[in-house]
Structure 1
Amino acid sequence: MACSAHLLSQSLYQSHRSSPASSSHLRFQSRPSGAACPAARSSSSARGRRSLSVRVAASAEDGTRQVELTYDAQAKFNQLADQIDQDIGITRLNLFSPCKINVFLRITGKRPDGFHDLASLFHVVSLGDTIKFSLSPSKSKDRLSTNVAGVPVDESNLIIKALELYRKKTGTDKHFWIHLDKKVPTGAGLGGGSSNAATALWAANQFSGGIASEKDLQEWSGEIGSDIPFFFSRGAAYCTGRGEIVEDIPDLLPINLPMVLIKPPQACSTAEVYKRLRLDQTSQADPLALLKEITQNGISQDVCINDLEPPAFEVLRSLKKLKKRIIASNRGDYSAVFMSGSGSTIVGIGSPDPPAFVYDDDDYKDVFVSEACFLTREENEWYREPISSNAAFSKEDLPSEVAPVVD
């Protein structure tokens, strides 16, 4: 099922919101009168707050009027909560933390600092984690919890590093309780950890009244991770350097274009993949020519070049077999099949459904499968999760121990 265009509202008080069905209803009858009903007058003044409404129905038979008062207690609560936030500032915040794919990824050289230069079209997609932030009474320590065993919750986690970086840059002293509800698998080439760090920087800035600009956050974030600055784009960007040089590409691809993400239980170590990379065997395609082709004609198999595929297929030979089987089973559903980042996720563009063998073949019973679509954001707003976003973890994605993997 393709992703819906409807977006969930980001709310500080989501757990307290309810539907209009929870409102209280009062009914009474009254005789016609030349004066307006006092309740109707109070309703008129409260209409903007949507906490009280009036409906009047007249009966010609007995000369009575039916008056219905609807009092929305939830709307009143939300109004009070919003007023509290204005008076004392934000105390808790829930944010969506989406991942990314690399539509193409060219490795163009090796740098003196040991990193590689790249040129890549990054795009945010709708699969993501949810992170809940609350102000901590402590002025000395952040506390992180998560739903997935094996994910580090100490200072090695990029969320904690991002919060420390924000305090260092701004001089603020706010610390947080954070819960990470993780759906993006680790070691997948989807930038889940980088997205978490960017989301944490955005959250810390909201708690501090927005004292830093988006450009500040983007520049600072490059100090702790090469992929993090990308998430401060609008969702699609041409990235160069180590990945930290970000050029926004607006309205590049339709956000309703469906895709499927398929990841085997094994992860790819980024360090191992780069160790096996041979620059003399990479593609010679001009990255700007690839970008122009996508801009003019959309995504096709020819433009989805990833120079990290050959070394990743050496690290994880079953990954090469998975990609070949997806392509062989394609009946026109996918316009392109390629690996994202340094692996181990294979992306099929054009359909949200995996090929049948993923469900039927026992060799693939433990793969991670998720539908997705492209995602963007507006300036001064964070990313919002499409309602139909759907992900499924296999049992292998909930390990008791996970080796550190750079994504």
Structure 2
Amino acid sequence: MATTLSLPAPAKLNLFLFITGRRPDGYHELQTLFQFLDFGDELHFSPRADGQICLESKLEGVAAEDNLIVRAARLLQEKTGCPLGADISVDKRLPMGGGLGGGSSDAATALVGLNHLWGTGVSLEQLAQWGLALGADVPIFVRGRAAYAEGVGEIFTDAAPPESWYLVVRPPVSVNTGLVFQSPDLKRDSPKRLITAIEPTEWANDCEAAVFKHYPVIEKVFSWLLEYAPARMTGTGCCVFARFDSQVAATATQALLPPHWQGFVAKGVNRSPLHERLAVCA
């Protein structure tokens, strides 16, 4: 049986996020642009013949059966009838609740990685459809290409934004996404436009005002970053990012971070590091 397969679960950024309305069922219509980062978690898979899914790395406060990695593995077993199992461990680098898609990316890497390891031969399109049951952001990570997203985040158009360098900073707080989307301060009336025609000079995040009101420390980090480069919040937060023209400039600004703030420098990439690694494994 094959040896251990190690694959990245990259972070994502929402380079812009506009909310264009609210549906009767409570879901919000949006327009956004996803790009991956060459930074994220690393997952390690070893096949088992007994069908057991054993997650060796535990997340504090999350039962193993509720972990998206375990759920993704069981979903693939269920859909394909595969009798194999896996031992799975995670080198966790992405913060929970940071707006970087860490949990969704882990789930996508589990689907794509185990599909490869077990030889189940499911197409990426099918894996993305199944992944939607695990979370709205899982399909974008399965597809592995930078993309515009519309509707409630399920309608994709391939994109090729500039592959800039970013300094990403995580304020010391976790954002309650439900609270943000229920907030009366949330901007919900951005005009719906041809998404591919939205210029970089117009890029913004409609969630920022509501998040800043409930979490002033995020606004503080945002304002600090804005002094050095164009800055924005990703998703519903809490992470904020600033764009730089070079790794040197991003790293120099990172060195100025106050000691109680955590951050990292990464490059935006339009093809997921997950798929880059798998192409080498194939």
Q: How does 1:192-271 map to 2 (within 5 A)?
A: 192-249=102-159, 252-255=160-163, 257-271=164-178
CA contact (8 A) 1:145 1:153 kept: no
Question: 1:277 & 1:199 partners in 2: Cα distance?
Answer: 36
The residue number in structure 2 matching 1:405 is none
Q: 1:225 deviation in Å?
A: 0.5
Shift of 1:356: 7.0
Deviation at 1:321, TM superposition (A): 1.8
Q: Residues of 1 paired with 2:203 and 2:184: CA distance?
A: 18
CA-atom RMSD in angstroms: 2.5
**1:292 match:** 197
Alpha-carbon offset, residue 276 of structure 1 = 1.0
Q: 2:202 aligns to what?
A: 303
Match of 1:377 in 2: 271
- Whether the 8 Å CA contact 1:101–1:122 is kept in 2: the answer is yes
| Change beyond 3 A, Cα 1:368–1:354 | farther
When residues 192 and 277 of structure 1 are mapped into structure 2, their CA distance, relative to the original with a 3 A threshold, is farther
What do the CA deviations read for 1:70-97 (whole angstroms, capped 9, x no partner)? xxxxxxxxxxxxxxxxxx5x34211011
**1:353-379 CA deviation, whole Å, 9 max, x = no partner?**
3647953xxxx4222210011123389
Deviation at residue 222 of structure 1 after TM alignment: 0.7
8 A Cα contact 2:19 2:190, kept in partner: no
**Contact 2:45/2:89 (8 A) holds in 1:** yes
**Contact kept in structure 1, 2:254 and 2:264, CA below 8 Å:** no
Q: 2:25 aligns with which of 109, 113, 116?
A: 113
* Equivalent AA in structure 2 for residue 272 of structure 1: L
Is the contact between residue 229 and residue 246 of structure 1 (CA under 8 Å) also seen in structure 2?
Answer: no
User: In structure 2, how many angstroms separate the alpha carbons of the residues matched to 1:168 and 1:201?
Assistant: 12
Instruction: Provide Cα deviations, 1:336-393, integer angstroms capped at 9, x if missing partner.
Output: 210000101111011423647953xxxx4222210011123389x72449xxxxxxxx
What amino acid maps onto 1:377 in structure 2?
R
Partners of 1:111 and 1:278 lie apart in 2 by 17
2:213 maps to amino acid: E
TM-score, with length taken from structure 2? 0.88
- 1:236 and 1:340 mapped to 2: Cα distance? 15
Are the equivalent residues in 2 in contact too, given 1:283–1:307 (CA < 8 A)?
no
The corresponding residue for 2:232 is 338
Aligned to 2:215: 316
- Retained in 1: the 8 A contact 2:99–2:238? yes
Q: Residues 357 and 92 (structure 1 numbering): CA distance in 2 closer, same or farther, change over 3 Å?
A: closer
Cα-to-partner distance string for 1:255-283 (whole Å, 9 max, x where unaligned): 3x21110111211111121121556x446
Relative distance call for 1:174 and 1:242 in structure 2 (3 A) is farther
Segments of structure 1 that go 5 or more residues without pairing to the other structure are 1-87, 386-407
SS in 2 for 1:220: helix
Determine the C-alpha separation between the residues in 1 that align with 2:142 and 2:53: 23
Secondary structure in structure 1 of the residue aligned to 2:194: helix
Partner residue of 1:32? Answer: none
Conservation of the 8 A alpha-carbon contact between 1:144 and 1:153: no
Q: CA distance change for structure 1 residues 101 and 194 in 2, over 3 Å: closer, same or farther?
A: same
- 2:133 match: secondary structure: coil
Question: Is the Cα contact below 8 Å between 1:106 and 1:287 reproduced in 2?
Answer: no
**Larger RCO (CA under 8 A, 6+ residues apart):** 2
Distance, in Å, in 1 between the alignment partners of 2:108 and 2:214 is: 29
% same residue: 31
Matched residue SS, 1:382:
helix
Return 5+ residue gaps in structure 2 as ranges.
none
Maintained 8 Å contact 1:134/1:177 = yes
Counterpart residue type for residue 91 of structure 2: D
User: Structure 2 CA distance, aligned partners of 1:245 and 1:96?
Assistant: 25
- The alignment's TM-score, normalised by the length of structure 1, stands at 0.62
> Per-residue deviation at 1:325?
2.2
> In terms of Rg, which structure is larger?
1
Give the whole-Å Cα distance in 2 for the aligned partners of 1:137 and 1:201.
18
- Matched length: 274
Look up the equivalent residue of 2:251 and give its one-letter code. D
